[in-house]
Structure formats: C-alpha cells, structure tokens
Amino acid sequence: MKGKRVRTIEESDSGRNLEFKDIKNDQEMSRAEFVKKIEDGIYEDYYVRRMYGIKTPISKPDESEENNLD
C-alpha cells in the first residue's frame, strides 16, 4: 500500500486530531485507541509524542509530504 494507512477523520476546533480511520481495514478509532495501538507496535509507521501533556499520534517522516496525517 502506497502512503500511510491511517487518516484523520475528526479534529477539534484547535486542530488536535481526535478520530482516525485505518483505511486498510476501515476501522475507526479514537486518539487514545490509536495511541495504544502504536505503543503496542501495531502501527510501525507512527510514533507517539507528548504534546501539551497529551499523548499524540505522529506519522514517522519519510520522503513524501503527501502522506502525513491529514
């Protein structure tokens, strides 16, 4: 599969990503669920960063600017 497999489907008024969708298996997940799966090693193309005290999913950088979480 070309590109990242997870897309943001909902964000807060401040721009924080809240809900995500795995486009490979059509599964929707909250930020907390996605973070847990990243920490469990299910999504190797992502990592977790604490931003303003909140664990936040981040896509690992690669050569493409078109496949970041959007």
Q: What is the pLDDT of residues 10-61, one digit of tens each?
A: 999 999 999 999 999 999 999 999 999 999 999 999 999 999 999 999 998 8
| Residue given tokens 């298996």 in the structure block | 25
List CB contacts of 43: < 8 A, sequence separation 6 or more: 5, 6, 34, 37
| Residue given tokens 């809240």 in the structure block | 18
The answer for 59, left when phi > 0, alpha when psi is -120 to 50, beta otherwise, is: beta
pTM: 0.82
Strand (E) or helix (H) holding 32: helix 31-39
Torsion over CA: 11, 57, 67, 64 (sign): positive
